[in-house]
Structure 1
């Protein structure tokens, strides 16, 4: 289990994490969603003891991340956003190096390395240098390294960022399998809403260091209403149309972007006739109507005011993250 209570992390005047509180249950796959600079990686760094919080408290597996940091490190695995495996070594040599950093006895290290390589589908490539691996293979080796010491809790920071659809699906097949076979708790950050929606049991949305929403994907989508209706209008000023739509009882909220009026309603099938009737009565002609269920992308937009976009980060940030991970392993 992971428990955070009023977690705060500041860098000078910058508040990166601002009073964050949440609980992750044993065996849960928990999604942590946020735009660039929201506080996701900083939170992971605190929970994996790479950083100390400025204030607040965090327990991982029942251990305090500050006063019992060494115990936390023994039970967590971390797959960072940036690749940290050594290109000059083989896949097997990378895992043996990792085992040494965790002081795993050689015989056990060999057994575990064989197991995790099989789990991520890299047994046949174990003897090849990592420089010959594809991007997806490197990610899978990074996952194997995070699993080598048999952690109870696995932290995945953007594990599929930049991968093609097929490789993303393969990575998630491995993660789903290890959860099923090992009962592992997984804490995930991702930019892919389809991943979070289909895989996570609960998600938290963080923006500007604060938790904006927390719940199951279904509950969060339901918070926007049962249906989303997109309307395109032939005539009528936007202010007039917004005013007309705002007076319809069925409409919970309405927005306008790129010429499309987006309405949240509790029941689209019941509410749409009233919406169209009010517009037609006011002389407003509708050229296109699309009705659908809300998406997690729209939940994110609702709570943060912006769309989730891919973040690649600067090379300075990538280098800093790589160095901090390597310091943890020594």
Structure 2
């Protein structure tokens, strides 16, 4: 089995009396898009600063790409691309010139910097804007340029801190598609920090939820859904033509049904055992018919709220 891209063991960061990160145990493997999810102030940015060697842990240990975050932080920064929550640029220079300069700072030759800058601007969808000064760019365009900047040195790991914050829906969609493209076409491992549940669910393969500096849960997204199903019981999502309160009350009275909840045009039935057939017969007896019947799919918001409340 290959070495984890990121591995932390008891990673802790304390500022005076405040514990920003508390005993973080985390593993990110090659090829994953790992979503690091939590509210503002949960410890996400602190974790990123530690991983790239811009802060020193109070206790615990971690490796990134096999390098120790304290002793080998320079090697980490050579092999990791980082997009901070607000990337900085030379506003009076073009996108091309900005990337060329970053290439030179990363020990690329002038020729290689020019070539790499041109390639990356095409990759992030800014090719036709390459000679335009960055001061004329929208927030979304600057975020794409920031990702290009993070990719200039051909990193083995890309870390993104709130990459869609402040973007409109179109800009958010462009960043999401770019992240998926980089992972699929280049096999790039991506560590994505965000407080936006919908974006994590749309983008990531694995999720870690952090709250008050502590990792609450961490697993593949589909495993988290299964865990919630096991703890909450089997659930059905129904659309019933003209459901009456009498019908819903009778469904709730079926042995094996623990809860019936109506939301707008849908009915959610939670079961302690699979009594789907009995529910169907009950609906038919009332002269109603089912427009839709399927197992309820839990959203990341429901998963987050469950573990957030437990924490």
State the TM bucket, normalised to the shorter chain.
0.7 to 0.9
The offset of 1:162, in angstroms, is 1.9
Whole-Å separation in 1 of the counterparts to 2:200 and 2:273: 25
Check conservation: 2:183, 2:189, Cα contact below 8 A: yes
1-structure distance, mates of 2:38, 2:277: 32
Deviations 1:73-105 (A, max 9, x none): 111000111131232221112112212322222
Determine if contact 1:250/1:271 at 8 Å carries over to the other structure: no
Asked if structure 2 preserves the Cα contact closer than 8 Å seen for 1:87 and 1:131, the reply is: yes
For 1:199 and 1:271, the matched residues in 2 are separated by 36
Tell me how far apart the structure 2 counterparts of residues 222 and 19 of structure 1 sit (CA, whole Å): 26
Report the equivalent of 2:180.
176
- Listed as ranges, the matches of 1:6-25 within 5 Å are 6-25=10-29
1:4 lines up with 2:8 in the alignment: yes
- Matched with 1:227 is 235
Identify which of 27, 44, 50 aligns with 1:40.
44
Of the three residues 87, 107, 110, the one matched with 1:83 is 87
Alignment partner, residue 321 of structure 1? none
1:31–1:202 Cα contact (<8 Å) kept: yes
1:194 to 191, 198, 202: 198
CA distance in 2, matches of 1:18, 1:5: 11
Q: TM-score, normalised by structure 1?
A: 0.75
CA distance in 2, matches of 1:216, 1:104: 37
Question: Aligned pair in 2 of structure 1 residues 161, 107: CA closer, same or farther (>3 Å)?
Answer: same
Q: Does 1:130 align with 2:138?
A: no
Aligned to 1:298: 302
3-state DSSP class of the match of 1:206?
strand
Contact 1:91–1:129 (CA under 8 A) maintained in structure 2: yes
Residues 10 and 272 of structure 1, relative CA distance in 2, 3 Å threshold: farther
Residue 100 of structure 2: aligned partner: 96
What does the per-residue CA deviation read over 1:203-252, in whole Å, with 9 as the maximum and x for residues that have no partner?
0111111111111222212222243789xxx9xxxxxxxxxx9xx8654x
Matching of residue 105 in structure 1 with residue 109 in structure 2: yes
* Counterparts of residues 244-255 of structure 1 (less than 5 Å): 251=258
Change (3 A) 1:269 1:92: farther
CA distance in 2 between counterparts of 1:207 and 1:77 reads: 25
Residue of structure 2 equivalent to 1:161: 165
Indicate the SS of the match to 2:146.
Answer: helix
**In structure 2, what is the equivalent of residue 325 of structure 1?**
none
In the alignment, is the contact (CA less than 8 A) between 2:256 and 2:275 conserved in 1? no
Query: Of 68, 71, 77, which aligns to 1:67?
Result: 71
Aligned residue in 2 for 1:27: 31
In structure 1, runs of 5+ residues without a counterpart are 235-244, 256-261, 277-290, 307-330
Asked whether the equivalents of residues 161 and 191 of structure 1 are also in contact (C-alpha less than 8 Å), the reply is: no
Report how many residues are paired. Answer: 282
Q: CA RMSD in A?
A: 3.4
The two structures have a TM-score, normalised by structure 2, of: 0.79
Alignment deviations for residues 45-95 of structure 1 (CA, whole Å, 9 cap, x no partner): 111111111111110100001000111111100011113123222111211
Query: Alpha carbons of 1:35 and 1:264: their partners in 2 closer, same or farther (altered >3 Å)?
Result: farther
Cross-structure match for 1:207:
211
Alignment partner of 1:121 out of 119, 125, 134: 125
1:111 CA displacement: 1.4
Would the aligned equivalents of 1:229 and 1:264 in 2 still touch at CA under 8 Å? Answer: no
In 2, Cα distance between equivalents of 1:263 and 1:187: 36
Structure 2 gap segments, 5+ residues each: 239-244, 246-251, 262-267, 283-294
Q: CA deviation at 1:271?
A: 11
CA distance in 1, matches of 2:89, 2:135: 10
Distance in 1 (alpha carbons) for counterparts of 2:6 and 2:174? 27
